[in-house]
Structure 1
Amino acid sequence: MAELSRLPGPVMDLWEWQFEGACRDLDDSMFFHPEGERGAARRRRIEAAKAVCNSCPVMMQCREQALAIREPYGVWGGLSEEEREAIIAQRRAARLTVAG
């Protein structure tokens, strides 16, 4: 589950970018895997979702939002669940290196 404590308050200016999303009118199933989806089917769905993201004018806002709240499911901002986890781990390691 996303860490709700990291979500910003309901300020329209912070969320207005979502109205420009290329995914806005698409079926959610394109971005979120059904239970049991694996292998080639999962890779194809992820690649199709990323293709939508790559044409999106707000891809970076979406990506940073998903990383900020540690969104655990789906393709967001052109990144899969695993890719976001890796970036979050890299950022955490970088902070520890700087702090340590």
Structure 2
Amino acid sequence: MHRTNTPQPRTLGDHSWRDRAACRSTPYHQVDPELFFPEPDEIDRIRAAKALCAQCPVRRVCLDAALENGDSAGIRGGMTEEEREPLHRKLEHRFDYGRVNEVLAGRDIHLTKAERRAVARAAYQAELPASRLAWLLKISEEHAGKLYRRTRREIRNRAVEQQEKAEKTPRNRPHTLKNPTAKLPGRDDLGTAA
């Protein structure tokens, strides 16, 4: 089985990824940090910074850290400030099943609101106790209980909506009539084949 080399999300408070960053200066590889803070019209510096980012093994983690920490200055994760701006605005709606699964496996990582709701739903469906959900999300057991009650309501409401929709949908009708009072042609009305 072929495994992809997708980076794991960083855990809360973990900055060790910076040690593997291509932009990290070492005695053998000097990098000017100012390269990553060019003016908008400094196209050559932007290209040079992005070229370094393109070969970075932790580029995705760097981008996630910039978004999660609200870092809007400079080139981070291979993107300029202007390129990251829409991502900053949409961050709370970001949804990544990988991140949800990592939390369910017990890792402490940053989650968006949508991802936190998915963790609560998955934990509820797996019948995990509220105390376990509280531990996973770093919340109180009381709050975990509220999340479970909300999840239960959402599941119930969705089931009711689907049942109502199914009852409204006509079954075993090959077509829909524009005029419901019109008579369908009978076998004798169709004539004979030529």
TM > 0.5 fold call: yes
Which of 32, 35, 56 in structure 2 is aligned with 1:30? 35
Please state how far the C-alpha of 1:46 moved relative to its aligned partner. 1.1
C-alpha distance in 2 between matches for 1:24 and 1:74: 15
Aligned to 2:60: 60
Q: Which runs of 5+ in 1 are unaligned?
A: 1-7
Q: Which runs of 5+ in 2 are unaligned?
A: 1-10, 26-30, 95-113, 115-194
| Percent identity between the two aligned chains | 38
Aligned to 2:81: 81
Scaled by the length of structure 2, the TM-score of the pair is 0.37
Taking only aligned residues, the RMSD between alpha carbons, in angstroms, comes to 2.2
Give the number of the structure with larger relative contact order, counting CA–CA contacts within 8 Å between residues 6 or more apart.
Answer: 1
Q: Write out the 4+ residue segments of structure 1 that deviate beyond 6 Å after TM superposition.
A: none
SS at match of 2:15: helix
The residue identity in structure 1 corresponding to 2:32 is D
Deviations, residues 77-100 of structure 1 (Å, cap 9, x unaligned): 1010011112122445x58xx9xx
Deviations, residues 6-43 of structure 1 (Å, cap 9, x unaligned): xx97x4xx11111000000111111012xxx452xx12
Aligned to 1:72: 72
Which structure features the higher share of helix residues?
1
The aligned length equals 80
C-alpha distance in 2 between matches for 1:63 and 1:75: 9
Scaled by the length of structure 1, the TM-score of the pair is 0.69
